[in-house]
Amino acid sequence: MEPILKMVSISKYFGTFAANEDVNLEVQKGEIHSLLGENGAGKSTLMNVLYGLYKPEKGEIFFEGKKLNLNSSKDAIDVGIGMIHQHFMLVPVHTVLENVIMGMGKEKGFIIDEAKLEKEILDIANRYGMKISLHSKVSELSVGEQQRVEIVKALYRGAKLLIMDEPTAVLTPQETEELFTTLRKMSDGGMSIILITHKLNEVMAVCDKVTVLRDGRVTGRIDIKDTNELELTKAMIGRELSPACKDNTCCKGDMVLELKDVSYEEDKGAKLLSNINLNLCAGEILGIAGVDGNGQKELAEVIAGLVHATSGNVFLGNEEITHKSISEIINMGVGYIPEDRHKRGLVLDFSVSENLILKDYCKQPFRKKVFFDFNVINNHAEKMIEKYSIKTQSKNDEARKLSGGNQQKVVVAREVDKLPKLLIAVQPTRGVDIGAIEFIHKQILKAKEQGTAVLLISTELSEINSLSDRIAVIYKGSIIGEIDQSEFEESTIGLMMAGIPKEKAMQSL
């Protein structure tokens, strides 16, 4: 059968850097096709080419047998290609209906048959099992609902091929399941879907075919029924993984961190954390699960001293640190892997060796009286680069020259190597490749084994599950419940992430 989409020999350069090199992609009608690859593999670039946002340096695109000449996303939409970006593009103050019809000219006409319009849109939503309420404001919707509006909007514009860029990154497991049900219905109805992801289980669960990208090139084109996660991993990273393996015996030591009724309000008065109670012992990993944006960042910052609790108390060991400064808290033995490594974790203009001592440069042994001891600093850097397999041409290279995964390794190396009493790790592997993820996980487990208490804040449930001894779920700034690792059920946690208390979440399964 002639494929609905054929991308032939696409090359796209940024300067001299090849984000896509000779990429071929074929998608059949009614197929769910995964575009799989690590961060930076070139997936979004390729799809932006298909959606008319980038002009490739080389290559041709055929859609329904016809050669395309795309100059804008409007050209792509006109032929029936829809794209749902990682960040939604809805107007929050408008209603769902307004957002769906926006820009189509229909809202401007003199006579709008609103009832007919609504029926058309609801028919589309119902056909694929999507619940939407047309008169709600987009700002009132959950992320999952907003995504449905984006899908309906693309379908209403006549999409025959729908591109979804990492759609599950912002969803709870249940919302992901619902999305997959919708995608299956769409493919049964003859729609073609390109699903961008780096999650292998999703590829296996919902896709028919997969094209794997690595460093801008295709490294695999495989039928899902003939493959497995191992083969896909190899295509993705060029080798096999030996995943971090947790020793399930948690030998807990003394209490290291305790939060008592901690609340935090912004200046404007919005309550971002309310009445949080948590405790964490030496040698234990407490995972904080939750959908992004439910207070995770604030929780980490309140403990690290970047902001101060509005009420309640934070204790490190026996000492209260509620109102201490970040430098005092660091000096008491707290390591911090922040969510945004560019803003808080690294100074990108500084060298790798400077970044490796960022917080200790004033201290022995790096300082001799008023001078830095460059011998010690350089030796330290060389040792750390070797020990933590940081890929850099030189210890004197600026941090910005490193890949994302290696930048994160610099932060992890610096924070873990000093064997802190408490390690706060926020999204420690976000945006890094699976090779680096494996490595970072091992470092976190090693720290735990050596007695560090680890607070692991992550939106990746697989990460929480594979590392934590206990899991607390955060929802709208509150801890909605806590479960032991032995009780881990993705569906229970998923419901809790949507705000359903533990007992109810467990019953409803």
Interacting residues toward ligand ADP by CB under 6 A:
14, 19, 37, 39-45
The H-or-E segment that residue 186 falls in is helix 173-188
Footprint (CB under 5 A) of Mg ion, residues 32-61: 44
Residue 361 binding target from Mg ion, ligand ADP, none, CB below 5 to 8 Å by type: none
State whether the Cα torsion 305-253-466-174 is positive or negative. negative
Q: Which is nearer to ligand ADP, 211 or 443 (CB)?
A: 211
> What are 110-117's contacts with CB under 8 Å, separation 24+?
none
Backbone torsions φ then ψ of 456, nearest 5 degrees? -105, 110
Least spacing, CB of residue 44 vs ligand ADP, in Å: 3
Q: Which is nearer to Mg ion, 44 or 392 (CB)?
A: 44
Residues 457, 285: contact at Cβ < 8 Å?
A: no
Site string for Mg ion, 186-225 (x = CB under 5 A): ----------------------------------------
How many angstroms separate the CA atoms of 369 and 131, rounded? 68
Rounded to an integer, what distance in angstroms lies between the CA atom of residue 409 and that of residue 48?
Answer: 30
Q: Which token pair is 24?
A: 């071929």
**Per residue, what are the HEC states of 139-181?**
HHCCHHHHHHHHHHHHHHCCCCEEEEECHHHHCCHHHHHHHHH
CB of residue 19 to ligand ADP, shortest distance in Å: 4
Residue with tokens 């695999």: 220
Residue 209 contact, options Mg ion, ligand ADP, none, Cβ 5-8 Å cut-off depending on partner type: none
Q: How far is the CB of 36 from Mg ion (least distance, A)?
A: 12
Residue 41 binds which of ligand ADP, Mg ion, none (CB < 5-8 A, kind-dependent): ligand ADP
CB of 408 to ligand ADP, least distance (A): 15
Min dist CB 282 to Mg ion, Å, is 39
Residue 439 burial (C-beta neighbours within 10 Å; 0-12, 13-18, 19+): buried
The CB-of-430 to ligand ADP minimum distance in angstroms stands at 12
- The number of residues that bind Mg ion (CB under 5 A) is 1
- Closer CB to ligand ADP, 209 or 448, in the complex: 209
40 binds, among ligand ADP, Mg ion, none (CB under 5 to 8 A by kind): ligand ADP
Q: 13 or 366, CB closer to ligand ADP?
A: 13
* φ and ψ at residue 303, rounded to 5 degrees: -75, -40
Beta pairing partners, 222: 210
Shortest Å distance, C-beta 45 to ligand ADP? 3
45 binds, among ligand ADP, Mg ion, none (CB under 5 to 8 A by kind): ligand ADP
9 or 327: whose CB is closer to ligand ADP? Answer: 9
Q: Using only C-alpha atoms, what is the Rg of the chain?
A: 25
Residues interacting with Mg ion, by CB under 5 A?
A: 44
